A and B are shown apart, each in its own frame.
Chain A
């Protein structure tokens, strides 16, 4: 089975540009999470969805960040306009919220560099 698929794996952009990160969760998983990882702040939860509905977006840094989940097999995280401090690795993860375990399956991440 394919795991969580993220794209792009690497993105280099200039300050002010729009960035869109994409995620395809594991089929059958009904919870999807977006995390940001930096050396300074570790793994921060940005937002999570249950059954395509945003449940908690309190970790979204500011209005420049937005996330959508139009269907069970696709989610996007958008940054507009991007700033150098947004440089980080962004992870998408999915799981079954009512499963026997709470195991979260992570993608390999999207490394974003904003110049």
Chain B
């Protein structure tokens, strides 16, 4: 119930390509779906996030598509660059008791993205 399943485990694209990373969940109580980016030797950092009341969110070259009925969401990176090479994690959280604040954040397994020049 608390799992977030992420695929693929690794992805290689050429510069300018559009890598797509997918995640699926079971727990319908999840109400916040962020994506984190991690470079080697660093901690993960928030990239973009979405709530289930919208189907798409775009920030720069990064877009989240959200399908509530299918319980799936995905990250698209437009015009990918070698500097986008990193590990990407999807995540999901349920609100704290009372529903007024953010709670426990569960991560997917991660996708290692390599963008070749």
Chain B residues within 8 Å of chain A by Cβ, number = 24
Closest B residue by C-beta to A40: B109
Contact A106/B45 with A42-B107, A42-B110, A43-B110 known, Cβ cut-off 8 Å = yes
A: contact size bracket: 20 to 34
Interface contacts (Cβ under 8 Å), in number, total: 60
Within 8 A of B (CB), among A74-115: 91, 93, 95, 97-99, 101-104, 106-109
Q: Are A42 and B109 in contact (CB under 8 A)?
A: yes
Contact A106/B43 with A95-B102, A98-B101 known, Cβ cut-off 8 Å = yes
Q: Are A106 and B101 in contact (CB under 8 A)?
A: no
List chain B residues, Cβ under 8 A from A34. none
Q: Are A33 and B43 in contact (CB under 8 A)?
A: no
Q: Are B32 and A56 in contact (CB under 8 A)?
A: no
Within 8 A of A (CB), among B54-113: 89, 93, 96, 100-110
Within 8 A of B (CB), among A24-56: 31, 33, 35, 42-43, 45, 48, 50, 55-56
Q: How far is the CA of A93 from the CA of B89 in the complex (A)?
A: 15
Q: How far is the CA of A48 from the CA of B101 in the complex (A)?
A: 14
Q: Are B43 and A108 in contact (CB under 8 A)?
A: yes
Minimum C-beta distance from A4 to chain B (A): 8
Apart from A35-B107, A109-B43, what are 9 other A-B pairs with CB-CB below 8 Å? A33-B105, A42-B107, A55-B103, A97-B101, A102-B32, A102-B49, A103-B49, A104-B46, A108-B41
A-B contact pairs, 24 of them (CB 8 A): A4-B43, A31-B102, A42-B109, A43-B44, A43-B107, A45-B104, A45-B105, A45-B107, A48-B104, A50-B96, A91-B44, A93-B43, A95-B102, A99-B102, A101-B49, A102-B49, A103-B46, A104-B44, A104-B46, A104-B105, A106-B43, A106-B44, A106-B45, A108-B43
